[in-house]
Amino acid sequence: MEKTKILKDVSFITTVFNEEKSVLLFLESLVSQTLMPEEIVVVDGGSSDNTLNLIIEYFSKTSSSSSLKNKTSINGEVYYGKVSYRKDNSFHGVYNPDKSHAASYVSEKLVFEAFLACGTGVKIFYAPCTKISQGRNIAVKNSSGKFICVSDGGCRLKPNWLYEITKYYFSKFIKKTGEYDVDVTGGYNLPYIKKFLHAVLSMCILPKKSEIDKRKFMPSSRNISFKRQVWETVGGFPEYMDYGEDMKFNFNIKKSGYKIEFNPDAEVYWNLRDNLQAVFKQFFRYAKGDAVGRMYLYRHIIRFLSFFVFLIIVAVSAVLSPWYLLLLVPLLIFYSYRPYSRINSVLSNSKNTEFIKDSKSLKIFKTIFISILSIPLFLLYIDIAKLSGYIYGLALRKKY
pLDDT tens-digit readout, 35-85: 999 999 999 999 999 999 999 999 988 766 445 554 434 444 333 333 333
CB 254 within 8 A of CB 138: no
Q: How far is CA 128 from CA 145, 193, 346, in A?
A: 25, 31, 38
With 60 as the cut, is the pLDDT of residue 141 above it?
yes
pLDDT of residue 332: 86
pTM of the model: 0.84
With 50 as the cut, is the pLDDT of residue 229 above it?
yes
350 compared with 165, residue with greater pLDDT = 165
242's CB contacts (< 8 A; 6+ apart) are 131, 132, 133, 285, 289
**DSSP label at residue 3:** P
Which one-letter amino acid corresponds to residue 120?
A: T
- The beta strand positions in the chain, using DSSP E, are 5-16, 35-44, 109-115, 121-126, 147-150, 155-157, 173-174, 179-180, 184-192, 224-227, 260-271
Determine the Cα–Cα distance for residues 298 and 296; give it in Å rounded to an integer. Answer: 6
User: Can you list the domains of the chain with their CATH numbers?
Assistant: 5-272 (3.90.550.10), 278-399 (no CATH)
